[in-house]
Structure 1
Amino acid sequence: MKNTIAERILDFLKDFPPFNLLPKETLYEISKKIEIHYFEKDQIIFDQNDNPHEHFYMVYEGAVRLYRFGEDKKHVVDICDEGDLFGLRPLIMKENYLMGAAANEESILYGIPIQLFSDIILNYPKVSQFLIASFATNTRDPFTDKHKGKLFANIEAIRKVENSFIETQTAKYTQNPITCSPKTTVQFAAKVMTANVINSIVVTLDNIPIGIMTDKDIRTKIGTGLFKITDPVEAIMTSPVITFAENITVAEAQLARLKHKVSHLCITKDGTNKTELVGILAEHDLSLIQGNNPLLLTKQIRTAKDAETLKYIRTKASELTQGYIEQEIPIYFVTKVISEINTVITKRAIHLSIKEIGVEPPVAYTWLALGSQGRKEQLLMTDQDNALVFENISEEKYAETKKYFLELASKVTEKLNIVGFEYCPANIMASNPKWCLSVCEWKSQFKDWIKHPTSDKILNSIIFFDFEFIYGDTHLYDKMAKSVFKYIYKKPVFLGFLSKATLDNPAPLGFFKQFLVEEDGENKDHFDIKSRAIRPLVDAARIFSLHHQISVNNTIARYEKLMEVEPQNSDIFESCANAFKILLQFRTSQGLTNNDSGKFVDINILSKADRLKLKSCFKPIKNVQESLKLRFNISQIP
């Protein structure tokens, strides 16, 4: 007797990936096991951080919104409609839901059992490829240019599906695994495992893997009395082993473990069980790889008990940066990830410091990041630049209130220094009484800098006008930002002074088109990529953004916004954004290689291609500086 419901489900599934990649017979078996769920409008399907359900979902009718909680605010990330899949990744990756799902309208969903579906994943390579690509791009259909998915921080710049994220990295396995022969006794093999602090031993014959004995085998087969401890390991080993080649990805490893229900994979020369064993990939190895997942790092930061723990986590973030740079992940994406990690570290340092003081802040306040962290461009462990603003208070309470915030700032900056962000040489930190002020004082400071632009005040403007909210009361931050725009609007000539200061920076090339390098000191004959190339682009973006009252700090985002507000100059701004991406990636790569700030580059060791790549970034600098001269009448500035 025909199952008409299953046939209707099959008729729907066959038009959507990855089900359209399956033969009809297999699809029919899946259709018979699918559950049908009805949800009313706004009804929660699953919430962020919930444990994964036993099935994932496909929208049959209606629509589902996916959301994520940010700073006390719910953000709608995407809308799934007919034929869209969601809720699959947590089931495969063994993690809680990274976002929630709710019915956007009355909806009917198909619930597809993960256990049923997992059994066919590796039997159909195209389905496996679809899932791996989906994990890499976080889109629902990675094989079309018209997908609606924007499930990873809305970063559209990511294009390299094959190696962009952790799941598509080559898994790091344990080389030279401990082995034994089939006739070795369980007792002797267990002693070897104990001595080497491992939970498995590979059984080999002429170095060909034929089985594996794990702690579980010893518990379930020896501990229960089914076998004796003097029996050979071949009596209790799991056989045959599951093998893969050396270039297995994290996603492939997860899928293989899911399908075969094993905790270990054997790595052989050609990926079959007929060639020499070269390594073992255990569940623990995959957990370590996932440990450098930015989401897991931020979770660890939020529960860190001290600055030393934060330092350890930030070291892992540096490894993450290194991996992204090596994989040529778009730099805009890298800055977003690492900046978020730096922000969470600062927040945790503030929480720990307040707990250390033992008294909550007396009034509302805001912690501000300045400089590269304020622009969300601090990829390397450079020095810290920060400030603090607190609510306006009565004169009699001012001294006591400021004393509290200076103590708080001192503890926070000390913790950040332990983490690896060195103290600012110029003491531009919230622990300095000059930069720990009330809203009224900050406004007065900005007004004075803009009204009386001396060289020192212009320098402060360059540093402090990139202030960014990190933690505290957003209203205080908004008041400060509005005051800057208001004062500049009243005295636009100030932007001319800023432009002149920017143009006084040393040029990157000399008269004969050679790199201008340092003439003396410890960096003699090195090129200052920060001052001569990156800073001019940062300064120009800031000045044009202040002119248009664009309230974003990130240099790339500023240029992209400027392309919108000045379409007639979009070519210049686009070239500046591209040049900045190249320079920032180049500096970061240099810094990671040399374990320093990446500020100075030894031109002599660069390849000809790298030299040309650097020089190609200098024309946009020249063009945007010419625009500054014309726009703000630099010739009229004394």
Structure 2
Amino acid sequence: MEDKLADQIYTARIGDITFKKIVSCSPGTPIFEAAIKMSEQKTSCLFIKNDQDVYLGFVTDITLRDNVIAKQLSPNLPIDEVMDTNIVTITPDAYVYEAILMMFSKKSRYLLVNDNGNYVGFLSRNRLLSEQAESPLVFIQSVKSAVNTGDLKLKWQKVPGIVSQLLARGVHSKIVNEVVTTIADTISFKIIEEVIAKLGPPPAKFVFMVLGSEGRKELSLKTDQDNAIIYEDTGEDKRAAVRSYFLDMATQVSDKLNFVGFVYCDGDYMATNPNWTHSLSHWKYNYKNWIEEALPEAAVKFAAFFDCRAIYGDLSIMESLRSFVDEELQKPIEKFYVYLAKNALLYEPPLTYFRNIRTQKIHKKEVFDIKTAMTPIVDLARVYALQNRIFQKENTGERLKALRELGVFSEEQFNELSQSYYYLMGLRLKHQANLIINDQAAPNNFIEIDSLTKIEKVTLIEIFKIIQNFQSGIRMKFTNSLG
């Protein structure tokens, strides 16, 4: 029965649950009047909206305690001077698990429910979590409560068990990816906060971004660090000190992440590398160069840094960079896309001439690399997303869906690619969790061919054929060659 209740979080939609009534006031309402209204309406959250019915923010009991009473502010001040402005909305057709993950990723305790332009109620994170006491998503809340890096390490060590539990229940691998990524993001957020508390306030606005699989919200259990820092441009007199601060921060964050279990990146795609901690103007120069150079190595770097996502700091910096890249991609850059396409053709599905699974021998066992097998789908989704200027979709599945909606892929093509990708992802996660839990071994991407059932082998062969067909399409479209 408990398993059934816990699983409902992955199938129930927001519209299936009862919302709380929205209580609101105008921005100029005195603080004491807002508090009286909260008391009369028996609500712990009061939303603030303007004359155009636009929600600007909210206040809670905690807001009044921390921002008013503790600071001894006058209760006659307007409420908008102390409100939280992190307004996050969701639609009734979204899943409950999406709402919870959104709350964690957006660092929000409340969600406004928007039904076709009308706000019909709100939800609190505590309420959703309390109703899902057996759900692994509640574990994320415990990560937020960790008091030191040692605690975070212990939390991360429990993740393989959570992955195994979710997969055993038949939870979609996309959801499992999102859960793992949210846990990783939460750990990173806690570590960054800890480092900032030690170093002192940052000397400039900045954003800490993650790259690669974490940037795409597609973390597996074999993961390393891929991150970078962008900070705002400052005057010449402050430049050296600002750069020194963020490089120091990067080193301390990276060391703590490594201690927790996110190992250093072999390719050095980390903020500790001076090349990947820079001002916004320098980052714009990087992207512009990669696009204009149109060289194979530049395309590889661009691909790595296109799969990026901000997890801490001033999000406007990331938006500024994305807007700049969007403008650059509107210029005639056919050669750039050719190299990106060729990059997407580097890894071929492991099929033999006779359409069997091609293996390699490791420790006397016949295995295939499932990460390499999945890479072409990630790459082709990225190429088409770039060509169609899809920037707000970081995830491979989301990119495929957006491409279907634009008519780039048919419904059949979307289903083939999406189902193939997440089947491979599920197999990969299951393999890694089993290695950690059952074999007490480090996770890897090499799946032993003899461990697969006949149905799994047949399914893999069909998936690899699908990938081959799509790679042929990329050759035709971007490189104008079948060779």
TM interval, shorter chain, is 0.7 to 0.9
Which residue of structure 1 lines up, in the alignment, with residue 183 of structure 2?
341
Alignment pair present for 1:329 and 2:175: no
Q: Check 1:355–1:574 CA distance in 2 against 1; reply closer, same or farther (3 A cut).
A: same
Q: Check 1:76–1:389 CA distance in 2 against 1; reply closer, same or farther (3 A cut).
A: closer
Distance 2:382 2:21 in 1: 51
| Conserved 8 A contact 2:476-2:482 | no
Q: CA deviation at 1:325?
A: 0.8
Alignment pair present for 1:73 and 2:108: no
Which residue of structure 2 lines up, in the alignment, with residue 445 of structure 1?
286
Secondary structure of the corresponding residue to residue 617 of structure 1: helix
Secondary structure of the corresponding residue to residue 158 of structure 2: helix
Secondary structure of the corresponding residue to residue 369 of structure 1: strand
Distance 1:101 1:518 in 2: 52
Which residue of structure 2 lines up, in the alignment, with residue 427 of structure 1?
268
Q: CA deviation at 1:78?
A: 5.6
Q: CA deviation at 1:38?
A: 11
Q: 2:382 aligns with which of 528, 538, 542?
A: 542
Give the letter aligned to residue 137 of structure 2.
Answer: P
Q: 2:412 aligns with which of 548, 551, 571?
A: 571
Superposed, 1:558-597 pairs within 5 Å as 558-566=399-407, 569-595=410-436, 596-597=442-443
Alignment pair present for 1:465 and 2:311: no
Give the letter aligned to residue 468 of structure 1.
Answer: R
Which residue of structure 1 lines up, in the alignment, with residue 151 of structure 2?
309
Q: CA deviation at 1:354?
A: 0.8
Give the letter aligned to residue 174 of structure 2.
Answer: Y
Which residue of structure 2 lines up, in the alignment, with residue 135 of structure 1?
none
Q: TM-score, normalised by structure 2?
A: 0.72
Alignment pair present for 1:367 and 2:208: yes
Distance 1:435 1:400 in 2: 17
Calculate percent identity across the aligned residue pairs: 27
Q: Check 1:630–1:99 CA distance in 2 against 1; reply closer, same or farther (3 A cut).
A: same
Distance 1:619 1:327 in 2: 29
Q: Deviations over 1:118-148 (max 9, x none)?
A: xxxxxxxxxxxxxxxxxxxxxxxxxxxxxx9
Distance 1:411 1:581 in 2: 35
Q: CA deviation at 1:317?
A: 3.2
Alignment pair present for 1:621 and 2:436: no
Structure with larger RCO (C-alpha < 8 A, sep 6+): 2
Alignment pair present for 1:350 and 2:192: yes
Q: Check 1:381–1:336 CA distance in 2 against 1; reply closer, same or farther (3 A cut).
A: same
Distance 2:122 2:458 in 1: 35
Q: Check 1:573–1:294 CA distance in 2 against 1; reply closer, same or farther (3 A cut).
A: same
Which residue of structure 1 lines up, in the alignment, with residue 259 of structure 2?
418
Secondary structure of the corresponding residue to residue 525 of structure 1: strand
Distance 2:377 2:283 in 1: 27
Q: CA deviation at 1:479?
A: 1.8
Give the letter aligned to residue 272 of structure 2.
Answer: S
Q: Deviations over 1:2-35 (max 9, x none)?
A: xxxxxxxxxxxxxxx99xxxxxxxxxxxxxxxxx
Distance 2:59 2:408 in 1: 34
Q: Check 1:79–1:443 CA distance in 2 against 1; reply closer, same or farther (3 A cut).
A: closer
| Conserved 8 A contact 1:380-1:591 | yes
| Conserved 8 A contact 1:500-1:634 | no
Q: CA deviation at 1:40?
A: 7.3
| Conserved 8 A contact 2:377-2:421 | yes
Secondary structure of the corresponding residue to residue 390 of structure 2: coil
Distance 2:371 2:232 in 1: 36
Q: Check 1:370–1:597 CA distance in 2 against 1; reply closer, same or farther (3 A cut).
A: farther
Q: Check 1:354–1:568 CA distance in 2 against 1; reply closer, same or farther (3 A cut).
A: closer
Secondary structure of the corresponding residue to residue 632 of structure 1: helix
Secondary structure of the corresponding residue to residue 341 of structure 2: helix
Q: CA deviation at 1:381?
A: 4.2
| Conserved 8 A contact 1:354-1:408 | yes
Q: CA deviation at 1:430?
A: 0.6
Q: Check 1:437–1:525 CA distance in 2 against 1; reply closer, same or farther (3 A cut).
A: same
Superposed, 1:149-548 pairs within 5 Å as 290=134, 293-295=136-138, 297-357=139-199, 359-490=200-331, 491-518=333-360, 525-531=366-372, 533-548=373-388
Distance 2:356 2:410 in 1: 29
| Conserved 8 A contact 1:387-1:430 | yes
Give the letter aligned to residue 602 of structure 1.
Answer: E
Query: Unmatched 5+ residue regions in structure 2?
Result: 1-15, 26-36, 47-57, 61-83, 94-108, 437-441
Alignment pair present for 1:553 and 2:399: no
| Conserved 8 A contact 1:366-1:474 | yes
Superposed, 1:120-159 pairs within 5 Å as none
Q: Deviations over 1:420-447 (max 9, x none)?
A: 1111111111111111111111111111
Q: 2:457 aligns with which of 611, 614, 623?
A: 611
Give the letter aligned to residue 511 of structure 1.
Answer: Y
Moved more, 570-579 or 556-565: 570-579
Give the letter aligned to residue 294 of structure 1.
Answer: L
Give the letter aligned to residue 566 of structure 1.
Answer: G
Give the letter aligned to residue 454 of structure 1.
Answer: L
Which residue of structure 2 lines up, in the alignment, with residue 24 of structure 1?
none
| Conserved 8 A contact 2:342-2:479 | no
| Conserved 8 A contact 1:390-1:437 | yes
Q: Check 1:371–1:467 CA distance in 2 against 1; reply closer, same or farther (3 A cut).
A: same
Give the letter aligned to residue 611 of structure 1.
Answer: K
Which residue of structure 2 lines up, in the alignment, with residue 270 of structure 1?
none
Q: Check 1:634–1:422 CA distance in 2 against 1; reply closer, same or farther (3 A cut).
A: farther
Q: Check 1:293–1:49 CA distance in 2 against 1; reply closer, same or farther (3 A cut).
A: farther
Q: CA deviation at 1:149?
A: 12
| Conserved 8 A contact 2:368-2:446 | yes
Q: Deviations over 1:369-416 (max 9, x none)?
A: 001000000031411111111111223322211111011011111111
| Conserved 8 A contact 2:370-2:445 | yes
Larger radius of gyration: 1
Distance 1:445 1:425 in 2: 21
Q: TM-score, normalised by structure 1?
A: 0.56
Q: CA deviation at 1:79?
A: 6.6
| Conserved 8 A contact 1:502-1:540 | yes
Query: Unmatched 5+ residue regions in structure 1?
Result: 1-16, 19-36, 51-66, 81-97, 105-147, 154-164, 168-250, 252-288
| Conserved 8 A contact 1:68-1:75 | no
Q: Check 1:152–1:340 CA distance in 2 against 1; reply closer, same or farther (3 A cut).
A: farther
Q: CA deviation at 1:466?
A: 0.3
Q: CA deviation at 1:166?
A: 11
Q: Check 1:334–1:549 CA distance in 2 against 1; reply closer, same or farther (3 A cut).
A: same
Q: Check 1:549–1:510 CA distance in 2 against 1; reply closer, same or farther (3 A cut).
A: same
Give the letter aligned to residue 354 of structure 2.
Answer: F
Give the letter aligned to residue 86 of structure 2.
Answer: K
Q: Deviations over 1:247-268 (max 9, x none)?
A: xxxx9xxxxxxxxxxxxxxxxx
